[in-house]
Structure 1
Amino acid sequence: MTLALAMVALALVLPWGAAAAARRLASLLPPREACATLTGAAALLAGGTLAALIALFHVPFLAALEQVPLPRAATAWPATVPVAAAAGAALAVQAALVARRWREHRSVLARAWSATGDSVPDGDLLVVPGPDPQAFALPGWRGRGGRIVVTTGMLRALGPAEREVLFGHERAHLAGRHHLLSVTAHLAGAVHPALRSLRPALEFHLERWADEAAASAVGNRRLAATAIARAALAAASGKQPHKDHGPLLSVGTGPVPQRVEALLRPVPGRPQARATQMAAAGLAAAVSGSAVLGLVLAYGLHEYVELTARALLRR
């Protein structure tokens, strides 16, 4: 049991190092690959954490399946009940946080669709009357396809060419289904506190992905940089109805100066091989270690309980 607890501790500590390695590797990769890295790391690390906690929580139930009474199991393994209770409490808190974040996600989405009112879409573009400069990618909802929502206030703040950059940016969010990646990282952060740092990093790279797609669509990186800066500045001057925008990714998300600076540089190329390989190796070791430890622990505890139960019943 001591070995099992050590494995659990390691499985719960590894995500701190893995999250740092994931952010470092993402900073060396082009935006699309960076988003895949961060989302995959968040999902795998959350899964490894849950597997480790579920394994501990199930120890008393495994003993019962082997017909070992709980008092006898507690005598043989004094930490069984306290550890299982702690694991169960952690799982309950995680479940509540995940459910709460999912409800918030759906609530923001419902309110955003409701705010569009009776506006008639022009293809994938939905122009909403209003002086407040806003623009965001609105994911599909209850059979309705995704839309680019932009207010008349935002349209007035941009020139015709800059509007095309804005539309290309938001279309990239919809085409890449970026809201699913963002929500995955948001829910993973409810499972382990170390994973909360992955969502801001992911949203920055999602915006960089959309920025690059918009620049490619208009064929002018300087125009794209100017449009992004102007749209973000206009959005920042308006009202911000929701501190947490949930599934709504807008042009003003993330550190805009870094995004503009990146657009003023050439198209991102292949990163330095040595630095990328080192960061990738560190991330792979931490993520795979956490996931494998959780799965091995779940299987190992089952085998351990079964063997020990047989020994106790023979006495």
Structure 2
Amino acid sequence: MRIAVYVPLLLSLLAPLGGRPLSERCEPRLATWLLTASSLALGAASMISLGLLAVTGLIRVPQLADLGHWSSRSARGADPAQLSIALVAGLLLGGTVIAAARMLWRRTRTLASAAVDAACMPARDGLVVVEDEAPDAYALPGLPGRVVVSTGMLRTLDEPEHDILLAHERAHLSAHHYAFVALAQLGASANPLLRPLASAVTYTIERWADENAATATGDRARVARTVGKAALAAHRTPSRIRTAGAALGILGRRGPLATAGPVPRRVAALLVPPLRRHPALTTATAAVLTAATLATAEAAHDLHLLLQTVGAWR
């Protein structure tokens, strides 16, 4: 097969390099959409590329070639891809399919459990206050979702900061941020090279919620202080462990980016004017996704021609 089949795999190596610039320089809502789309599209394109390469190996096996009325001998001569590459692609494809299926199953179960928990929680205007000395706050997806806040967090923050906290958590629910996280992680499970993109999404959804809170309250500096204050309180008193991925909290401690200091970055972003859409980064992302799509289509066409050729030579 031609070079087109390898393009999505090459782009998967390069795309994570743009994750940090997108999350830091682009408006958070747009950055979340671009990062999620990139993770999902490149993950799917990578799986298709591996599948196409694996097929070139399968048609070289006489017993399998006979099922499609192809000539295995002709396939060995007509396809430039080496058999070892096809075999490796097949093994990698099997692993990615299993990983993606497991991730999808776990995420589905987690969200279903969260929805059941939310439905069982008595709430007032969607707010649930739990008796817990550990400062904690998170959004629990459901129909409807719930904002869960501990009494320890309420005592840590003052009244205006309560409004900021609620605006932040309600932004998570109204914008369905859990769906962005799930889709980005699905793409990363299909292609582990894309994990930096999925991690960046866990940061940009927090930035998105921060900006919504700043817009709702009209005080960016106070939102920055609230984020920092909540993070410091939680650091001193670790909150109880919740089901992984079930909640999206104001503290932004739900992903690998925590080791890179997401809270200081969020506070710094709130102390400057809001970011605007970045045309250059948007264009570059669109170009990458377009190239991956076109290359995948071209590779599929190459395989179609190959199958026609080995079928005609039978």
- TM-score, normalization: structure 2? 0.84
Contact 2:115 2:141 in 1 (8 A): no
How far apart, CA to CA, are the structure 2 residues paired with 1:8 and 1:100?
26
Q: Deviations over 1:37-90 (max 9, x none)?
A: 111111211121122112223333595465125466446659675444332221
Equivalence map 1:40-189=2 (5 Å): 40-59=37-56, 60=58, 63-64=65-66, 66-70=68-72, 73-74=75-76, 82-109=84-111, 119-140=121-142, 144-189=143-188
Q: Secondary structure at the match of 1:246?
A: coil
Between 183-192 and 102-111, report the one with greater CA deviation.
102-111
CA displacement at 1:259 relative to structure 2 = 1.0
**What CA distance in whole angstroms lies between the structure 2 residues aligned with 1:111 and 1:31?**
28
Closer/same/farther in 2, CA of residues 190 and 119 from structure 1, 3 Å limit: closer
SS at match of 1:283: helix
The one-letter code of the counterpart of 1:99 is A
Which of 292, 297, 300 pairs up with 1:290? Answer: 292
Identity of aligned residues (%): 33
Structure 2: distance between partners of 1:201 and 1:188: 13
Question: Which segment is superposed worse, 67-76 or 250-259?
Answer: 67-76
- Aligned equivalent of 1:201: 200
- Helix, strand or coil for the counterpart of 2:147? strand
Asked whether the 8 Å contact 1:52–1:293 carries over to 2, the reply is no
Counterpart CA distance in 2 for 1:95 and 1:242 is: 30
Q: Is 1:262 matched up with 2:269?
A: yes
**Residues 182 and 270 (structure 1 numbering): CA distance in 2 closer, same or farther, change over 3 Å?**
closer
- Whole-angstrom distance in 2 between the partners of 1:101 and 1:202: 17
- Give SS of 1:190's match: helix
Tell me, which stretches of 5 or more residues in structure 2 are unaligned?
253-257
Report the counterpart of residue 11 of structure 2 in structure 1: 14
* Contact preservation (8 Å) 2:134, 2:150: yes
CA distance in 2 between partners of 1:248 and 1:164 (Å)? 19
Distance 1:116 1:73, change over 3 A: closer
Distance change >3 Å, CA 97–CA 72, structure 1 → 2: same
Secondary structure (helix, strand or coil) at the match of 1:13 reads: helix
- How many aligned residue pairs are there? 301
**Counterpart Cα distance in 2 of 1:166 and 1:281:** 34
State whether structure 2 residue 38 is matched by structure 1 residue 38. no
Q: Whole-Å Cα distance in 2 between the matches of residues 242 and 70 of structure 1?
A: 56
Query: After superposition, what is the alpha-carbon deviation per residue over 1:236-275, rounded to whole angstroms, capped at 9, x for unaligned?
Result: 333355598324211111511111122122233455xxxx
Q: 1:268 to 1:78 in 2, by over 3 A?
A: closer
In the alignment, is the contact (CA less than 8 A) between 1:50 and 1:294 conserved in 2? no
**In 1, distance between residues paired with 2:68 and 2:121?**
63
- Say whether the 8 Å CA contact 1:129–1:152 is kept in structure 2: yes
DSSP-derived class of the 2:189 partner: coil
Does structure 1 residue 249 correspond to structure 2 residue 256? Answer: no
Distance in 2, matches of 1:159 and 1:130, equals 17
For the structure 1 residues 19 and 172, does the alpha-carbon distance in structure 2 shift closer, same or farther, using more than 3 Å as the test?
A: same
Deviations 1:78-115 (A, max 9, x none): 96754443322212111221122234334544665677
Q: 1:85 to 1:64 in 2, by over 3 A?
A: farther
RMSD over equivalenced CA pairs, Å = 2.8
